[in-house]
Amino acid sequence: MIMFLMVNFCFYCHMQLSNADVFPHNHDEIDIELLGHERRKDWVLQTNIYGNGSVKTGREEKFYLWFDPTTSFHEYSILWNNHHIVFLVDNVPVREVIHNTVISSVYPSKPMSAYTTIWDGSEWATKGGKYPVDYKYAPFVASLQSSEVEGCILNQKSNVASSCTRSSLSSLDPVDGEEFAKLSSQQITGLQWTRGKHMFYSYCKDTARYKVLPPECNAK
């Protein structure tokens, strides 16, 4: 999923893959969220993943953006396949979640739909509600310039994605092919840069929130 988005006083802009409407008790979810903090320059990109109804364990990671998202459109992308989930901003990876045995039970695996919304996130998206939404700046606007979605064809009768089930990698596969199975050396460099310079929160380091860290954290 690729979206070109420009925001203006958006306190919580949400780009989401979800299947909660079809699987309300064990839904999957992959999120990109833009959080407006107390100072206009402190725009935060938050990524999150829920798998198989694991909503009690938030797998959030937060990054300070290296640009002002209100001045021009930027590309926010999610690559999701059987190999990994990759979050990208302007084609630069900010997070990779590799599909392995440690995380397999909560790895998103069911067909999902794409959503773009604006939510009032004043209690949790603005430092615990310390800086609540000031409605004198309404209306709050998020402008979507364009979007692109490529993936597997869903069998409506079985709720199973049927076109990405090849036993071997193929360059013809839109999301599961060879070029999408792992990051390139250039992408790895970009990932190291964003995580080293711009990431300021990871659930895997939040020992106050999780007395016992989720198992995939210990595998890193």
pTM: 0.86
In the prediction, which pLDDT does 146 show? 80
| Residues 44/32, Cβ–Cβ less than 8 Å | no
Q: How confident is the model at residue 185 (pLDDT cuts 50, 70, 90)?
A: very high
Mean pLDDT of the chain: 82
Q: What is the pLDDT of residue 71?
A: 82
The continuous run of DSSP H or E covering 13 comes out as strand 12-18
Q: For position 45, what pLDDT does the model report?
A: 92
Count the helix, strand and coil residues of the chain and give each as a percent rounded to the nearest 5. Answer: 15, 35, 50
Q: Which domains does the chain have, with CATH numbers?
A: 2-149+183-218 (2.60.120.200)
- Is the pLDDT at 118 greater than 90? The verdict is no
Quote the pLDDT of residue 119: 76
Average pLDDT estimate for 21-31: 94
- Residues designated catalytic: 29, 33
Apex 65 CA angle, 114 and 38, nearest 5: 100
Is residue 29 within 8 Å of 48, Cβ to Cβ?
yes
**Residues of the chain above pLDDT 90, percent:** 46
